[in-house]
Structure 1
C-alpha cells in the first residue's frame, strides 16, 4: 500500500488528530486549567466559560480589597490635626504626618486646621446706656485651640462664635455712653468685647480662642450724622482752644516770674547801694567831725566854699559887689552866653574876682574874708 494512499491511518506522519484541529474554547480551557493549578485550584473539568468568569471576579475582588485598604492612609499637614472616628465614636487624635486607619465605613478621619487664623465680621445697630443709637462694625480673628472640643462639643462652632460676638458687643455697648464709644472708648470697647467673648466660648467648650477684636467703625445713624459731626467738631475746637490757652499760660508765666525776679534783684541792689552810700556818708561825716574838732575855722570855711561851689557852679548869673565903685566894668558877654548855653559858668566869673578894672583882687579877697568872719 502506498504511503500516500488516501484513507484514514494511511499517513505515517499523521497517526493522530492534528493540533490545529482543536477548537479555541478548548485552548482557553487548557490555559485556565493551568492557571488554576498554579494558584492552587482544585482539579476537575469546569464547565465551559465558568473558569474564566471566576478568575476575573477573583482578580477584581483582590484589586478592590487592595484599594479599600489603601484608602485608610491619610496625611496631616503641619498646621492641622485629625480626629479619628470609629462608627462615629472618637478613638484618636493624630498629629502632623502620614497615618492609617481602618477604611470607611469603619473609621473616618476629620482633619481640622488648628493654626490658621479665621475671621468673622459683625455689624449691627445697638442702643447705648444714655439711650442713643449707634452703628457698630466689629471684626473678630480667632483660631482652633482644642480640636476635640471643636469637633464634638458644639454643632457649628463658627456660627456659635458669630452669635456670641453679637451678644458680647451688645452687652458692652449697652453699658457705655455714646460719646465714650465714638471718641476715647473705642479701644476699651474692643478689649472688653474680647474678654466677654472668650468667657462665653470657654463656657460653651467650643475649642476656639479669640486672638484679636477690632472696632472697625462706630458712628451714629445716618439721619443724625451731621449733628454729631458738628458736636465732635465743637469738642475738638474746645480742646484746641484749651491747648492754646495752656501754651499761652506756659509762655507768660515764666516771663512774669523772670520779670518779678529781675525787679526783686534790682530792688535788692538799690537797697544795698543806698545802704552802702549812707554808710559811706556817715563814715565821711565822722571823719569831718574829727577834723572839725581839730580846726573848726578852717573846716568851716572849707565846707562853705565847697557848698557855694556846688550851688553856684552851674548858675548863669554874675555876682558883682556893688559897694566897690570903679571907673568901668567889663563883662565878657560872649563868654557868659556860651556858659549859659552849656549850662554852667566858669568859676572865674563867680563872685567879684577881677571883673572890674577899678578894684584890686587883694581888696576883694579881704572883703570876702571879712564877710565870712562876720557870719
Structure 2
C-alpha cells in the first residue's frame, strides 16, 4: 500500500478521520492433518536441537532457568532446555584480565603511549610525603557463578579495591622504602590485602599479580629527590668500599697472627723437647759417671774440647803411662806454613 493512502482526510465538522483500507486476503491451500503434525514435529525437533551448546576449554557453562542459576558445566558438548526456558552463559575462566591504576594505555603499539591519571596515582606515605605510583592488577575468574551474579561492574570494583589497598599499604611505609628497597614488599602486601577485600565481597576473583609500574616523587620535586638519591648512592658506595677494605685486611691480619702463633708454638715445642733431651742426656751421663767416674770425666773433657776447639788439631799426652822422658816439643814438620813429611802444607 502506498504512503499516500495513509494521509488523513478531513471529515465532517472540520476534523480528521483515518483512511479506510482493507487487508489483502490470503488463501492457504488445504493441508492434511498428517502434514500439519509433521511440520509441527519438525519445528519441535529444531527447537529442541537449539538447546545443544559447546563449552570451550577455557570456559565454564553457567545454565540459567528463568534467570536463576541451576548448573555449572565443564568444557565439552552439553544440552539445556532451549529459550525461553533456559539460557547459558560461558565466561572465560582462564583469561587473565588487567586493571590499570594511575595511568591508562592509549596506544599499546611500539612505542606504547600512556596517559597519567593523577587523581589515582598521587598518594600519601607514612612520613607525610606525596608519591606518584602506577599500578597494574592482573586477575582471573575463580568462581564463575560469583563472578557473574555477586558483584556488578566487577572491573570497576577491582580497580577501586586495588586503589584502596595500595593507599593503605603506602600509608604505612616511608617514602624511602617505596622508592628503593620496599617495592617487592609493597606489591606482596597489596596483593594479599586486595585478595582479602574481594573475598569479603564474594566476588569470585583470584588476583594473579600486582605490579608496580612506576614509582617516583611528584614532578615538582623530582630533581631534588634525584639529588638526594645520588647522595645516598655515594654514601652506600663508600660504605661498601670501606667494608670491602675491612674484609680484605682483617683476614690478612688474622692470617699473620695465626702464623706468628704457630711459629711461637713450634719454637716453644722445640725448646721444650731440646731441654727434655738435654735433661735425659745429662741423666744418662750421670748414670755412667756413677759407674766409672774417671773414664766419664775424661770423656766429658775430650767432648768439651772437641766442641770448643773444633777446627784445631789436638795432641793429648796422658800422664803416668811410661812417657815421663817425653820431650815436650812441637812437631816441627806440622807447623803453620811448613810441609809435612809427605810434602803437604798443614794449617793449625
TM normalised by structure 1 equals 0.58
Q: Tell me the distance in 2 between the aligned counterparts of 1:37 and 1:121.
A: 65
- SS of structure 1 residue aligned to 2:292: helix
Offset from partner CA, 1:163-214 (integer Å, 9 cap, x none): 1111112211221233333444333222211110011001111111112223
Determine the structure 1 residue equivalent to 2:292. 291
Cα distance, 1:108 vs. partner?
Answer: 4.7
Q: Tell me the distance in 1 between the aligned counterparts of 2:80 and 2:191.
A: 39
Determine the structure 2 residue equivalent to 1:265. 266
Determine the structure 2 residue equivalent to 1:99. 79
Determine the structure 1 residue equivalent to 2:68. 90
CA contact (8 A) 2:124 2:170 kept: yes
CA contact (8 A) 1:219 1:225 kept: no
Determine the structure 2 residue equivalent to 1:110. 89
CA contact (8 A) 1:69 1:103 kept: no
Determine the structure 2 residue equivalent to 1:275. 276
Determine the structure 1 residue equivalent to 2:139. 142
Residue among 44, 56, 63 paired with 1:77: 56
Q: Tell me the distance in 1 between the aligned counterparts of 2:300 and 2:266.
A: 37
- What is the CA RMSD across the aligned residues, in angstroms? 4.3
Q: Which runs of 5+ in 1 are unaligned?
A: 1-31, 42-58, 317-323, 337-343, 347-375
Determine the structure 1 residue equivalent to 2:233. 232
Determine the structure 2 residue equivalent to 1:121. 100
Judging changes above 3 Å, is the alpha-carbon distance between structure 1 residues 304 and 134 closer, same or farther for their aligned structure 2 residues?
A: same
Cα distance, 1:70 vs. partner?
Answer: 6.9
Instruction: Verify: 1:186 aligned to 2:183, yes or no.
Output: yes
Instruction: Verify: 1:176 aligned to 2:154, yes or no.
Output: no
Q: Tell me the distance in 2 between the aligned counterparts of 1:234 and 1:161.
A: 41
User: Which structure is larger by alpha-carbon Rg, 1 or 2?
Assistant: 1
Instruction: Kindly tell me the number of residue pairs found equivalent between the two proteins.
Output: 275
Q: Tell me the distance in 1 between the aligned counterparts of 2:230 and 2:41.
A: 78
Offset from partner CA, 1:105-132 (integer Å, 9 cap, x none): x655433112222222334233322334
- SS of structure 2 residue aligned to 1:214: strand
Q: Which moved more, 1:74-83 or 1:192-201?
A: 74-83
Offset from partner CA, 1:220-262 (integer Å, 9 cap, x none): 4433124214313432542354245335434543453244234
- SS of structure 2 residue aligned to 1:169: helix
Q: Tell me the distance in 2 between the aligned counterparts of 1:40 and 1:289.
A: 152
Cα distance, 1:65 vs. partner?
Answer: 9.5
- SS of structure 2 residue aligned to 1:257: helix
Determine the structure 2 residue equivalent to 1:6. none
Determine the structure 2 residue equivalent to 1:16. none
CA contact (8 A) 2:289 2:297 kept: no
- SS of structure 2 residue aligned to 1:158: helix
Which structure's residues are more often helix, by fraction?
1
Q: Tell me the distance in 1 between the aligned counterparts of 2:306 and 2:140.
A: 108
